[in-house]
């Protein structure tokens, strides 16, 4: 190794972080927002904000499905929860397509939990768009997008390990910050954000790769199972078989509340889901699942305590929700749940969000450090094409992405609710804004470009809560927003983003490139005559 281990690791750290650094910044920022994916989706559907759950909600949903889909193959009622105050009603029509599995998701509507009224929220991908972009990008074939994200994640893991090896005084440097020193300040900020949440950075990177282990390393599944990974999942997570044929018409229990109360009393948790196969038939089967204490090694889906009744309301089976998947499955569940924060209460989710912000700052400062270091080496010369290109791409990846996110949220309020293909237009607004920032950044890849994009960033994030105030009744100054704290928190985060962008603008506007002080001339030694 030329120059020794640390010098080699420094080279590896620099280039593994730079080559896919712009994609990593986007992955970090959109992944951080995904911790509040449900809250973002709720904010982007103002038609749902009036819903308030009550004890009568299960019966209202039961009656509504009885009117909406009495002859369906299956019903599914998702009851209101902390992160979603509406009831979601799903059903699978009894059609040949459904029998063949062609309509597995069936139909879906959302119901006001207080009145039983069917709601019609505006078409929007909500937080799911940012969540999916985090690991599938957009407009790229899914398999290739996932491979690209996995390669970038592997480069991130290499950058983390090589960075730890490179900085032998990394923990000492964590407590050192020298503002206003150009390259030195960016290095101090990069070190501090890297060390502050180093275990989180390693966990989130490694677990991200582990989630796609079947795609990255399928050989063990292919060797052990004839159907490969599909055979593995069919064995470990077998599907519950539904009776293939509808029974004779028969009345079901009319009041679901006693069954719901029985399940809640049995398990000591509120009911979350009511599932019915072959409703209004003599072979109907009603399953009422409750919540449970969140565990960090829980399965990704299923495992909730459940009572099973027949159509008349007689208890058939009790499923306590206990299972033992073995040590390897529990370790896998642990890493997946840590990555997605599925087990997290609101305080823990905010902590993960802050760690994600720190991780984003680590990636951003690393990219800016690369440019700052090479800019100082110019010694007054004009930057070349390569440096201008990297600086422009940095601008588009950092301020450009945040501008695009603000435009995405503003478009949700400004586009007509009845616009055809509305959710696609929200996404188009996101990418058009991002493309505009890229063109601007490549055209003005210098300090004035940063100032202009920071000003636009501050203005747009400030505009989001203002537009919300002008277009909805669930804005920051309304009781509805504070009744559903996520709505108020969203507007407050927007104001915080605007304040952060304004502060960055002020710092960049007031910064002048530091000049090296002239070296002081050494005093001339006096001669004998002068000393006298």
CA angle 267/273/274 to nearest 5° reads: 100
Bridge partners, 398 (sequence order)? none
Q: Which of 68, 73, 97, 93 is nearest to 280 (CA)?
A: 73
pLDDT at 527: 40
The gap between the terminal CA atoms of the chain, to the nearest Å, is 61
pLDDT at 175: 61
CA 2 to chain centre: 41
Pairing state between β 87-92 and 74-78: antiparallel
Helices (H) then strands (E): counts for the chain: 23, 8
- By percentage, how much of the chain surpasses pLDDT 70? 87
pLDDT at 129: 97
Summarised one tens digit per residue, pLDDT across range 307-341 is 999 999 999 999 987 666 677 778 888 899 999 99
Q: Per-residue pLDDT for 184 more than 80? A: no
Higher per-residue pLDDT: 260 or 343:
260
Instruction: Give the whole-angstrom CA distance, residue 285 versus residue 316.
Output: 9
In sequence order, which ranges of 167-316 are alpha helices (DSSP H)?
A: 170-174, 183-196, 198-211, 213-216, 219-224, 229-236, 257-267
Helix or strand holding residue 110 (H, E): strand 107-111
Instruction: Give the whole-angstrom CA distance, residue 409 versus residue 411.
Output: 5
Q: At what angle do helices 183-196 and 198-211 cross, to 10 degrees?
A: 70
Summarised one tens digit per residue, pLDDT across range 263-303 is 999 999 999 999 999 999 999 999 999 988 877 888 766 67
Give the confidence band of 115 by pLDDT, cuts at 50, 70, 90. very high
Instruction: Give the whole-angstrom CA distance, residue 510 versus residue 504.
Output: 10
Summarised one tens digit per residue, pLDDT across range 352-389 is 999 999 999 999 988 888 888 887 777 667 778 888 99
pTM of the model: 0.88
């Amino acid at each position: 190794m030329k120059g020794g281990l640390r010098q080699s690791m420094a080279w590896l750290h620099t280039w593994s972080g730079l080559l896919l650094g712009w994609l990593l910044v986007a992955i970090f920022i959109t992944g951080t927002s995904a911790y509040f994916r449900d809250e973002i989706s709720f904010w982007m559907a103002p038609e749902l904000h009036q819903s308030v759950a009550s004890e009568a909600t299960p019966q209202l949903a039961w009656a509504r499905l009885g009117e909406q889909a009495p002859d369906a193959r299956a019903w599914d009622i998702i009851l209101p929860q902390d992160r979603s105050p509406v009831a979601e009603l799903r059903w699978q029509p009894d059609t040949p397509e459904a029998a063949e599995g062609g309509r597995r998701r069936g139909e879906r509507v959302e119901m006001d939990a207080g009145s039983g009224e069917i709601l019609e929220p505006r078409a929007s991908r909500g937080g799911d768009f940012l969540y999916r972009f985090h690991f599938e990008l957009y407009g790229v074939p899914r398999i290739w997008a996932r491979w690209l994200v996995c390669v970038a994640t592997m480069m991130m893991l290499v950058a983390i390990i090589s960075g730890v090896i490179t900085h032998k005084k990394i923990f000492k440097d964590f407590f050192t910050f020298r503002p206003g020193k150009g390259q030195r300040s960016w290095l101090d900020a990069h070190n501090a954000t890297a060390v502050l949440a180093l275990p989180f950075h390693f966990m989130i990177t490694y677990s991200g790769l582990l989630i796609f282990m079947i795609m990255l390393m399928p050989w063990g599944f292919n060797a052990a199972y004839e159907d490969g990974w599909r055979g593995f999942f069919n064995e470990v997570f077998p599907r519950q078989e539904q009776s293939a044929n509808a029974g004779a018409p028969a009345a079901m229990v009319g009041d679901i509340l006693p069954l719901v109360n029985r399940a809640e009393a049995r398990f000591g948790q509120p009911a979350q889901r009511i599932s019915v196969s072959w409703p209004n038939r003599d072979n109907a089967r009603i399953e009422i699942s409750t919540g449970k204490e969140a565990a960090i090694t829980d399965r990704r889906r299923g495992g909730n305590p459940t009572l099973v009744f027949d159509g008349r309301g007689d208890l058939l089976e009790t499923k306590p929700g206990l299972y033992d998947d073995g040590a390897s499955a529990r370790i896998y569940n642990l890493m997946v749940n840590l990555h997605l924060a599925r087990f997290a209460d609101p305080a823990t989710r905010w902590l993960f969000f802050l760690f994600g912000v720190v991780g984003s700052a680590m990636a951003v400062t690393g990219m800016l450090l690369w440019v700052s270091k090479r800019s100082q080496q110019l010694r007054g010369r004009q930057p070349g094409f390569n440096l201008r290109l990297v600086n422009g791409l940095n601008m588009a990846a950092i301020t450009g992405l945040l501008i695009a996110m603000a435009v995405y949220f503003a478009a949700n309020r400004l586009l007509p609710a009845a616009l055809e293909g509305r959710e696609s237009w929200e996404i188009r607004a996101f990418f058009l804004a991002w493309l505009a920032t890229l063109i601007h950044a490549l055209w003005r890849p210098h300090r004035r470009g940063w100032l202009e994009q920071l000003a636009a960033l501050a203005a747009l994030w400030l505009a989001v809560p203002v537009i919300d105030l002008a277009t909805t009744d669930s804005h920051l100054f309304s009781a509805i927003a504070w009744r559903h704290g996520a709505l108020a928190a969203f507007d407050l985060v927007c104001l915080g983003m605007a304040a952060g962008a304004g502060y960055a603008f002020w710092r960049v506007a007031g910064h002048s490139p530091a000049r090296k002080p002239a070296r002081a001339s050494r005093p001339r030694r006096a001669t004998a005559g002068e000393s006298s």
